[in-house]
Structure 1
Amino acid sequence: MNKLEEIGKLNKFKIKKSSKILKKHKIDPAFLFLLAGFAGLIMFYIWPFFVSMGYAFMDKTVNGSFVGLRNFIELFHNKPYLLGLKNTLIFIGISVPLGMFLSLMVAMLINRIKKYKELFVLVFLIPLVIPSGSMVFFWKALFMNQGYVNSILNTVGLKGINWLETSASLYVIAVIFIWKNLGYNMVLFMAGLHNIPKENYEAATVDGANEVKTFFYITLPGLVSMIVLVAIMSIVNSFKVFKEIYLITGKYPHESIYMLQHFMNNMFYSLNYQKLTTATSIMVLIITLLVQFLFWFERRHGE
Structure 2
Amino acid sequence: MKNKKIESIFLLPSLLGVLLFFLIPFIVIIYYSLINNPMEQKFVFLDNFSALLDNSAFILAAKNTAIFSLLAVPLAVILSLALALLLESKIPYKSQFRTFFLSPMMVPVASVVLVWKVVFNFNGPINSFIAVFGLEPINWLKSDYSQLVIIILFLWKNLGYNMILFMAGLNSIPKTLLEVAEIENASPWFKFVQIKLRFISPTILFVALLSLINSFKVFREIHLLTGDYPYDSLYMLQHFMNNTFKALDYQKLATAAILMGIVMIVIIGILFIIENYFGKDVEG
TM-score normalised over the length of structure 2:
0.91
In the TM superposition, residue 158 of structure 1 has moved relative to its aligned partner by: 3.0
**8 Å Cα contact 2:61/2:239 also seen in 1:** yes
**8 Å Cα contact 2:229/2:239 also seen in 1:** no
Structure 1 stretches of at least 4 aligned residues deviating more than 6 Å after TM superposition: none
Equivalent position to 1:206, from 160, 179, 183: 183
* 1:295 equivalent in alignment to 2:276: no
Corresponding residue of 1:70: 47
Which deviates more from structure 2 when the two are superposed, residues 130-139 or residues 280-289?
130-139
Equivalent position to 1:171, from 142, 148, 152: 148
Corresponding residue of 1:266: 243
CA distance in 2, matches of 1:133, 1:140: 10
CA distance in 2, matches of 1:175, 1:197: 35
Percent identity, please: 43
* RMSD across aligned positions (CA): 2.1
CA distance in 2, matches of 1:42, 1:185: 33
Q: 1:38 to 1:301 in 2, by over 3 A?
A: farther
CA distance in 2, matches of 1:180, 1:89: 20
CA distance in 2, matches of 1:35, 1:71: 37
In the TM superposition, residue 148 of structure 1 has moved relative to its aligned partner by: 1.1
In the TM superposition, residue 210 of structure 1 has moved relative to its aligned partner by: 2.4
Corresponding residue of 1:13: none
In the TM superposition, residue 117 of structure 1 has moved relative to its aligned partner by: 4.7
Q: 1:194 to 1:36 in 2, by over 3 A?
A: farther
CA distance in 1, matches of 2:94, 2:251: 52
Which deviates more from structure 2 when the two are superposed, residues 41-50 or residues 278-287?
41-50
Corresponding residue of 1:228: 205
* 1:94 equivalent in alignment to 2:47: no
Equivalent position to 1:153, from 115, 125, 130: 130
In the TM superposition, residue 62 of structure 1 has moved relative to its aligned partner by: 2.7
CA distance in 2, matches of 1:133, 1:38: 36
**8 Å Cα contact 2:33/2:252 also seen in 1:** yes
TM-score normalised over the length of structure 1:
0.86
In the TM superposition, residue 89 of structure 1 has moved relative to its aligned partner by: 0.6
CA distance in 1, matches of 2:90, 2:13: 44
In the TM superposition, residue 250 of structure 1 has moved relative to its aligned partner by: 1.5
CA distance in 2, matches of 1:33, 1:126: 40
CA distance in 2, matches of 1:296, 1:135: 36
Partner deviation per Cα, 1:246-294 (whole Å, 9 max, x = no partner): 1011122111111111111111111111101101111111111111111
Corresponding residue of 2:171: 194
Corresponding residue of 2:2: 21
Corresponding residue of 1:216: 193
Structure 2 portions without partners, runs of 5+: none
Corresponding residue of 2:37: 60
Q: Flag the structure with larger Rg.
A: 1
Q: 1:33 to 1:199 in 2, by over 3 A?
A: farther
Corresponding residue of 2:18: 41
In the TM superposition, residue 122 of structure 1 has moved relative to its aligned partner by: 3.4
Aligned length: 280
1:161 partner amino acid: I
1:21 partner amino acid: K
Q: 1:229 to 1:77 in 2, by over 3 A?
A: same
1:122 partner amino acid: T
Equivalent position to 1:253, from 230, 236, 242: 230
In the TM superposition, residue 123 of structure 1 has moved relative to its aligned partner by: 2.9
Corresponding residue of 1:136: 113
In the TM superposition, residue 36 of structure 1 has moved relative to its aligned partner by: 3.5
Q: Secondary structure at the match of 2:153?
A: helix
Partner deviation per Cα, 1:197-236 (whole Å, 9 max, x = no partner): 1122222222222222221121111111111111111111
Corresponding residue of 2:103: 126
Structure 1 portions without partners, runs of 5+: 1-19
